[in-house]
A and B are shown apart, each in its own frame.
Chain A
């Protein structure tokens, strides 16, 4: 039952990812990507990582994708006017895809990972309460740095996308 669910979710993930790439229209790409992200959030839920699933939906499907859609619309890119790459570079891309997949999977297989059994510690390690404690105790400093990073990136984004005024 759960395995079936996993296969369905995985299929959705991979399919939407492929569709993201192959869609001629960037808006369609974005929408497929949102679906892809939702399916990944489904994977997180299967792990019982509720907090992460919710954050994922909010950040990716919500914030990032909205940002991208806005940008696409700002640039008026919702036309299928993108020229294809040359045949050679497309073949090179496909070759690289195959090669990366081959190398990574071969690496995994060659490492002979012994995965005989899975621990069930029974302790609560991923509820929102526990994560909050870990995040604000053990990872306090990185947490604060993350906030600074976001602030800085916000300022940077504002500065970059501002219209340039010569001499001012």
Chain B
């Protein structure tokens, strides 16, 4: 079984993941809508997952993929709880504009 990285190269995947991660980070900072910020975080998570799989292939080792599997489980849990929190917030303040949620002020 040949290694796909022989044709593409690990550095391409690194660049792709980096860019995807930066796009996610940008989205978190750029948007005010909490749900879209959530999506941006998912993009960042997926960038990392992609890199983990790439290195898993690079090392010809299953551990990276197992890790991604757990990461997905945690992401699913996180999304469930996070969205529940957002629903609760929405119910209280009638909106999920992050700039209006300033109760964290010290």
Interface residues of A (CB under 8 A from B): 2-3, 6, 10, 13-14, 17-18, 20-21, 26, 29-30, 33, 36-37, 40, 43-44, 46-49, 51-52, 55-56, 59-60, 63-64, 67-68, 71-72, 74-75, 77, 82-85, 89-90, 92-94, 96-97, 100-101, 104-105, 108, 113, 115, 118-126, 130-131, 134-135, 139, 142, 146, 149-150, 152-154, 156-161, 163
Contact = CB atoms under 8 A, between A and B. Distances in A.
B26 A49 contact: no
- B interface, size bucket: 35 or more
B35 to A, nearest CB: 6
Given A75-B90, A93-B29, A20 B7 contact: no
Nearest to A7: B12
Contacts of A83: 32, 97
Nearest to A15: B23
B38 to A, nearest CB: 7
A52 B69 contact: yes
Interface of A is mostly: helix
A131 B32 contact: no
B101 interface: no
Given A47-B4, A52-B65, A150-B77, A21 B42 contact: no
Contacts of B99: 85
Nearest to B94: A75
Interface of B: 1-12, 14-16, 18-27, 29-33, 35-36, 38-40, 42-43, 46, 49-50, 53-54, 56-63, 65-66, 68-70, 72-81, 83-88, 90-91, 96-97, 99
A44 B32 contact: no
Contact of A64 (B32, B42, B97): B42
A2 B43 CA distance: 24
Nearest to B90: A75
Interface of B is mostly: helix
Contacts of A154: 80
B32 A82 contact: yes
A125 to B, nearest CB: 5
